[in-house]
Amino acid sequence: MNHYKTISELCKSNGFPPPENPLLGILTFEESEKCTFIEREFTMGFYTIALTKLKSGTFQYGRTKYDHDNGSLAFLKPHQKVLMNNVETSEKGFLLYIHEDFLINHSLHSEISNYGYFDYEVNEALHLSPKEEDILWDLFNKIQVEYYNNQDEYSKDIVLTHIDSFLKYAQRFYKRQFLNRSVLSGSIITKFTDILKKHFENGGLQKSGLPSVKYMAEKLALSPKYLSDLLKQETGKTALEHIHIALVIEAKNILMGTDKTIAETAYQLGFENPPYFSRLFKKEVGITPTAYRERFLN
């Protein structure tokens, strides 16, 4: 698997024009005439934002295929694996490469990690409406003007201001996507609950312990961050919070239906540390497991 440490290395290896700035790269598909990815797997040492429209091939959103006549926007953080399979894009698209060092001495250097969509998989792209696409193209064009202008002491700040706006709009548009795909969200919640139920019923807690968000995401063919954001938008609770709620419900059943001690209950639920179980239970229920049991015995 190839790894491109620098933007210049990526451009040279793929026959793209060399970057005007070694820490910032811009490429429109018009410039490269056509952009085709055929079973290519690679990683990059910098942030990447890609706006593409499919000319042929398919792109998947989780396990579901969608029409991508409108633009699809993908965000990749450094060292995130990319796999493109027989995808040919139309000429209307762009790639924006941003090295972390370009963000030094700007608020984005620390803030960019707060944009969770950089932890999504490529197949969890943002599918833009025509109006949304126009907004992002306008920002990209402003970045491009500064990029190819005779750069001065103001250029970097102006470019970073536009990138900051770009990321904020993307955050807004992802929330719109979650809402518009509420049917998909509902099915994910149902599947999420079913997986947890089977994990409990099949002795998964005793065999492998508490199910992690990563485990649940893999079962649903989603990235952990995308799963949490999807559930948060739909239910107000993250994937981890849903796991904790399910565990507490199971704990209540054990506490009321058996004479197991609190420690035995914790171990049955996959907790290696009973005090941690008690703290989690109190956080979710408002009282300790002992107090909960006693409330119903008295």
pLDDT, tens only, 264-273: 988 888 888 8
Work out the pLDDT band at 163, boundaries 50, 70, 90: very high
Stretch 8-27: mean pLDDT: 89
Q: Which range, 49-53, 190-194, 239-243, is most confident? A: 239-243
Residues 163 and 271 in one domain: no
Residues 16 and 130 in one domain: yes
Residues 21 and 166 in one domain: yes
Residues 212 and 91: their CA atoms lie apart, in Å, by: 41
Residues 287 and 276 in one domain: yes
Sign of CA dihedral 271, 274, 276, 278: positive
Between the two ends of the chain, the Cα-to-Cα distance in Å is 64
Q: Which of 68-77, 179-188, 190-199, 255-264 has the lowest mean pLDDT?
A: 179-188
Give per-residue pLDDT as tens, 108-135: 998 998 888 888 876 677 888 889 999 9
Q: State how far the alpha carbon of 68 is from the alpha carbons of 32, 56, 57, 187, in Å.
A: 21, 10, 10, 22
Query: In this structure, are residues 170 and 117 in contact, taking their beta carbons and an 8 Å threshold?
Result: yes
Of 180, 196, 215, the last residue of a domain is 180
Stretch 9-20: mean pLDDT: 86
Residues 114 and 228 in one domain: no
Residues 215 and 191: their CA atoms lie apart, in Å, by: 13
> Rounded to two decimals, what is the model's pTM?
0.65
Residues 49 and 196 in one domain: no
198: which residues sit within 8 A by CB, 6+ positions away? 204
Residues 187 and 167 in one domain: no
Work out the pLDDT band at 298, boundaries 50, 70, 90: low
Residues 53 and 73: their CA atoms lie apart, in Å, by: 9
Stretch 167-181: mean pLDDT: 83
Residues 162 and 231 in one domain: no
Q: List the domain range (segments joined by +) for residue 36.
A: 2-180
Residues 16 and 10: their CA atoms lie apart, in Å, by: 8
192: which residues sit within 8 A by CB, 6+ positions away? 216, 220, 227, 231, 239, 242
Stretch 201-210: mean pLDDT: 78
Domains identified in the chain, total number = 2
Burial class (CB in 10 A: 0-12, 13-18, 19+), 93: buried
Give the model's pLDDT for residue 76. 87
Residues 165 and 50 in one domain: yes
Of 165, 180, 195, the last residue of a domain is 180
**Would you say residue 33 has pLDDT above 80?**
no
Give the model's pLDDT for residue 250. 85
Residue 185: CA atoms inside 13 Å, Cβ hemisphere, count?
A: 21
Beta strand 87-89 pairing with 2-4:
unpaired
Residues 85 and 136 in one domain: yes
Percent of the chain scored above 90 by pLDDT? 22
Of 150, 180, 210, the last residue of a domain is 180
Residue in 57, 48, 70, 28 with CA at minimum distance from that of residue 173 = 70
Residues 10 and 132: their CA atoms lie apart, in Å, by: 29
**Would you say residue 50 has pLDDT above 70?**
yes
| CATH number for 59 | 2.60.120
Residues 77 and 30: their CA atoms lie apart, in Å, by: 25
Residues 63 and 98: their CA atoms lie apart, in Å, by: 30
Residues 146 and 92 in one domain: yes
What average pLDDT does the structure give for the chain? Answer: 81
Residue in 158, 124, 173, 169 with CA at minimum distance from that of residue 24 = 158
Give the model's pLDDT for residue 38. 43
| CATH number for 251 | 1.10.10.60
**Would you say residue 178 has pLDDT above 90?**
no
Q: Which residue has the higher pLDDT, 124 or 240?
A: 240
Residues 142 and 263 in one domain: no
Beta strand 64-65 pairing with 126-127:
unpaired
Hey, which residues does 21 pair with through a beta bridge? Answer: 24
